[in-house]
Amino acid sequence: MSKILLTGATGYIGSHTWLALLAAGYEVVGVDDFSNSSPAVLPRLAQLAGAMPVFECADVGDPEALEAVFAKHQFDAVVHFAAFKAVGESGEKPLDYYRNNIGGLLTVCATMAAHGCRRIVFSSSATVYGTPEKLPLREDAPVSAVNPYGQTKLIGETILRDVGAADPRWQTAALRYFNPVGAHESGQIGEDPRGIPNNLMPYVAQVAVGRRDVLKVFGNDYDTPDGTGVRDYIHVLDLAEGHVAAVRFLLSHPESITVNLGTGQGYSVLDVVRAYEAASGKPVPYEFAPRRAGDVAACWADPSLAAEKLGWRATRGLATMCEDSWRWQSLNPQGF
Residues that bind ligand WQD (CB under 6 A): 85, 87, 125, 127, 179, 198-200, 203, 215-218, 229, 231, 269, 292, 295
- Shortest CB 126 distance to ligand WQD, Å: 6
Q: Looking at beta carbons only, is 7 or 287 nearer to ligand NAD?
A: 7
Q: Looking at beta carbons only, is 278 or 328 nearer to ligand NAD?
A: 328
Site mask, ligand NAD, residues 104-123, x = CB under 6 A? x------------------x
Q: Could you give the 3-state DSSP secondary structure of residue 95?
A: helix
In 10 A of CB 332, how many CB atoms? 18
Residue 292's binding partner among ligand WQD, ligand NAD, none (Cβ under 5 to 8 angstroms by kind) is ligand WQD
Residue 202 binds ligand NAD (CB under 6 A): no
Residue type, 278: A
Contact 84, 153 (CB under 8 A): no
| Strand-pair category, 230-231 with 298-299 | parallel
Q: Residue 326 class from Cβ within 10 Å (0-12 exposed, 13-18 middle, 19+ buried)? A: buried
Q: Looking at beta carbons only, is 61 or 262 nearer to ligand WQD?
A: 262
Q: Looking at beta carbons only, is 163 or 261 nearer to ligand NAD?
A: 261
Residue 269's binding partner among ligand NAD, ligand WQD, none (Cβ under 5 to 8 angstroms by kind) is ligand WQD
List 12, 26, 97, 149, catalytic entry: 149
Q: Is 97 a catalytic residue?
A: no
Q: Could you give the 3-state DSSP secondary structure of residue 287?
A: strand
Q: Residue 196 class from Cβ within 10 Å (0-12 exposed, 13-18 middle, 19+ buried)? A: exposed
Residue 197 binds ligand NAD (CB under 6 A): no
- Shortest CB 35 distance to ligand WQD, Å: 16
Residue 218's binding partner among ligand WQD, ligand NAD, none (Cβ under 5 to 8 angstroms by kind) is ligand WQD
- Shortest CB 98 distance to ligand NAD, Å: 12
**8, 1, 13, 10: which is closest to 235 by C-alpha?**
13
Contact 83, 127 (CB under 8 A): no
* H or E stretch covering 255: none
- CB-hemisphere CA count at 13 Å for 80? 32
Q: Looking at beta carbons only, is 59 or 157 nearer to ligand NAD?
A: 59
Question: What is the sign of the dihedral through the CA atoms of 192, 175, 14 and 314?
Answer: positive
Q: Which of residues 33-72 bind ligand NAD (CB under 6 A)?
A: 33-37, 59-61
Question: What is the sign of the dihedral through the CA atoms of 142, 301, 189 and 335?
Answer: positive
Residue 32 binds ligand NAD (CB under 6 A): yes
Residue 205's binding partner among ligand NAD, ligand WQD, none (Cβ under 5 to 8 angstroms by kind) is none
Please identify every residue annotated as catalytic.
149
